[in-house]
Amino acid sequence: MEQTSIKLSKYSVGTGDRFAHQARPQLQACIQALEAGIEVVPVWNKSNREHTIIGSEPLSVRQSADAAVKVLGWKRPYFCDADHITSQTVSRFLNACDFYTIDVADYIGLAVSAGDMDDFVKRRSGLLGRIQLEGTSESFEITPDNLRRTAQKYLTAVKKAGEVYRAIVNAKGKGKFIPEISMDETDTAQSPVELLIILAAIADEGVPVQTIAPKLSGRFNKGVDYVGNVAQFEREFALDVAAIAYATAHFGLPENLKLSVHSGSDKFSIYPAIHATMKRFDAGVHLKTAGTTWLEELLGLAESGGEGLKLAKEIYAEAFAHREELCAPYAAVIDINTAMLPSPGKVEGWTSEQYTSALRHVPGAVGYNSSLRQLLHVGFKVAAKMGNRYLDLLEANEDVIARNVLENLYDRHIAPVFLGRSEAPHSASEVVASMSKQ
């Protein structure tokens, strides 16, 4: 398969920014990684759902990223991601984005025509038999039955991905963007064998996919730690990486194809496993950190006290009052124990330290409340409705918010995943102070 002209680097991080105000500290985290000896390319991502809720347009993401790159003098690649787009939503992203996460989860399990099925099975008969994945001690038997069964479940989804990919090509031209295919927002994790067969179908469809986001085992709830068996995750993650290596060697897919870990923010317990697997296979990874930036904004407001703390309390009260409405679109990726949610009246009496201790994700900390954190994670709609009142406070408290954003992205995500360590070589306060002068 012809390689794309634009090539995603080995390591990349998806940096969500609901309100397009934190691109500079996010980029600064990538600069610190580069100073530590590793290139981690920033990819600013925002979904159609988030744009719709906030009332923004994809161009705002591009403008924010471009401005940060100019101010901080970033000379490496960077991208803007049309996150979780479909054939119905892709058009609004065509002018602003150069990275497209094609979401086909809704098409998994839909009927496949007999002709398409027979063509695929005939074309991929060479997969039948036992396959040894290099770098592992495990081998898998692909039978006519599981080849057909996997195709029956995923072939229509892959064909939909091809349809969306070609629509983007028609608008932007070949090689002018990074294609990713996402199948993570579904109920059942894909096995390494299923992933291998899916990748064969993607190659047949002619999509030069550079990252793939399968559904991984365990729970990837928004903004909180991984829930599941870490040892099992590491085994399956390694097999998925090995399956990708097999696919690039045998199916003609781009050589830089890598796994994309969606809802990857705050999955602290699996970061050592991800890092170890990357080193073991000399593989890349794309880590999507989604909406934790918005939570760092809230933390910064609460930490600043005064009007910032007052607004943070008001946001919680509104989120609590509308929790069913806010949680409904994210039901598959949150686990909130309503009994653990403090009443707005109680929160109203909190100090700045009490609020930040409840919200800041420090596993094992006495005050930390994962249910409150998840509710506020999906509660950005409340802040969006406040308009300039919220945005003005972001700007008024820029330094303290930027410090929280930088520390969160670099210390707690980039350093453990890409560098294999947790400590940062810089003082975030000193870095933010230097940024504010630029």
Does 103 lie in the same domain as 35? yes
Under a CB-based contact definition with an 8 Å cutoff, are residues 94 and 173 in contact? no
Same domain, 272 and 322: no
- How far is the CA of 318 from the CAs of 368, 371, 404, in angstroms? 20, 15, 23
Task: Report the CATH number at residue 199.
Answer: 3.20.20
Task: Round to whole Å and give the CA distance between 289 and 296.
Answer: 12
pLDDT of residue 423: 52
What are phi and psi for residue 189, nearest 5 degrees? -70, 145
* Mean per-residue pLDDT, 88-96: 97
Q: Is residue 421 part of a domain?
A: no
Sorted by sequence, the CB contacts under 8 Å of residue 290 that are 6+ apart come out as 14, 16, 45, 222, 223, 262, 263, 264, 265
Domain termination site, one of 271, 290, 309: 290
Q: How many CA atoms lie within 13 A of 345 on its CB side?
A: 0
Domain containing 369 equals 294-396
Assigned domain for 223 exists: yes
Q: Is 311 exposed, middle or buried (0-12, 13-18, 19+ CB in 10 A)?
A: buried
Q: Evaluate whether residue 420 is within a structural domain.
A: no
Domain match, 307 and 339 both:
yes
What pLDDT, on the 0 to 100 scale, is given for residue 4?
Answer: 52
End residue of a domain, out of 240, 267, 290: 290
Residue 425 has pLDDT above 50, yes or no: no
Q: Encode pLDDT of 101-110 as tens digits.
A: 999 999 999 9
HSE (side-chain half, CA atoms, 13 Å) at 433: 5
What are the tens digits of pLDDT across the range 342-398?
Answer: 999 999 999 999 999 999 999 889 999 999 999 999 999 999 999 999 999 999 999
Report if residue 330 sits inside a domain: yes
Say yes or no: 275 and 313 in one domain: no
Our count of domains for the chain comes to 2
Task: Kindly state whether residues 250 and 308 are assigned to the same domain.
Answer: no
Quick one: 239 and 338 in the same domain?
no
Percentage of residues of the chain with pLDDT beyond 90 = 90
In a domain, 285, yes or no: yes
| pTM for the model | 0.94
Enumerate the β-bridge partners of residue 45. 16, 81
405 in a domain, yes or no?
no
Position 283 in a domain: yes
Residue 187, pLDDT score: 82
| Residue 178 φ/ψ, nearest 5 degrees | -95, 120
CB 245 within 8 A of CB 212: no
Q: Are residues 43 and 169 in the same domain?
A: yes
Last residue of a domain, one of 255, 290, 325: 290
Q: What tens digit of pLDDT does each residue of 43-79 get?
A: 999 999 999 999 999 999 999 999 999 999 999 999 9
My answer on whether 136 and 189 are in the same domain is yes
Give yes or no: residues 93 and 139 share one domain. yes
**414 within a domain of the structure (yes/no):** no
84 and 213 in a single domain? The answer is: yes
Average pLDDT of the chain, as a whole number: 94
**245 shares a domain with 380:** no
Question: Residues 163-177: what's their mean pLDDT?
Answer: 97
Q: Are both 306 and 259 inside the same structural domain? A: no
